[in-house]
Amino acid sequence: MGKFITFEGIDGAGKSTHIAFVSDYIKQRGVDLVSSREPGGTPLGEKLREIVLHEKMHLETEALLVFASRREHLAQVIEPALARGAWVISDRFTDSTFAYQGGGRGMSLAKLDALEQWVHPALQPDLTLLFDVPLDVARARLDATRELDKFEQEKSDFFAATRTEYLRRAAEFPQRFRVIDSTQSIAEIQQQIAAILDAFF
């Protein structure tokens, strides 16, 4: 039976660093694995990603576009893979929308709940790895990287609210969330991830 694993965290938390490690770790077990991302994951989703990351818009428009990309992602990638018994790992999923559009932007969580129930009423990740890091560390990492998208350019209060919502979600759904202290060394984090995956297998 297929499994669905998601990676979450504020920008600069370092989650992307560990996706390749998790992918290799799972593949070494002989598992058929699909790796994807949100927004995106499909040709249409990638077009919507560019709009969401770079165009200014009403916060509800933003949330609707993210969920539109997600519906396509589910229909074209996630659901077919799980149905054939493959595992899927995704760089972000609906927890990101609650964190960024709900926490950071202040959109009604009830509206996001309604969208979640519409778009994937019966599907949740089997495991969510939340990479958590203090805001100053995340900002220092972002400032040292590439040109920033509109979310990465947000102020500290936006990321504080985003992080708070992530941690609230983790407390609400402890059965699937594993919160990882992303201030640790890469080796320490990967050792922790390996232990989580071993228990998951």
**pLDDT per residue over 134-164, tens digit each?**
766 656 656 656 566 566 566 678 888 999 9
Strand partners, 128: 6, 177
Residue 195 pLDDT more than 80? yes
Its pTM surpasses 0.85: yes
Determine whether the annotation assigns residue 182 to a binding site.
Answer: no
Are residues 166 and 99 in contact, defined by beta-carbon separation less than 8 angstroms?
A: yes
Determine whether the annotation assigns residue 189 to a binding site.
Answer: no
Determine whether the annotation assigns residue 104 to a binding site.
Answer: no
Determine whether the annotation assigns residue 9 to a binding site.
Answer: yes
Determine whether the annotation assigns residue 20 to a binding site.
Answer: no
Residue 125 pLDDT more than 70? yes
Determine whether the annotation assigns residue 12 to a binding site.
Answer: yes
Determine whether the annotation assigns residue 45 to a binding site.
Answer: no
Mean pLDDT to the nearest integer, 110-132: 97
* pLDDT tens string 77-117: 999 999 999 999 999 999 999 999 999 999 999 999 999 99
Task: Please state which CATH number belongs to domain 4-200.
Answer: 3.40.50.300
Determine whether the annotation assigns residue 181 to a binding site.
Answer: no
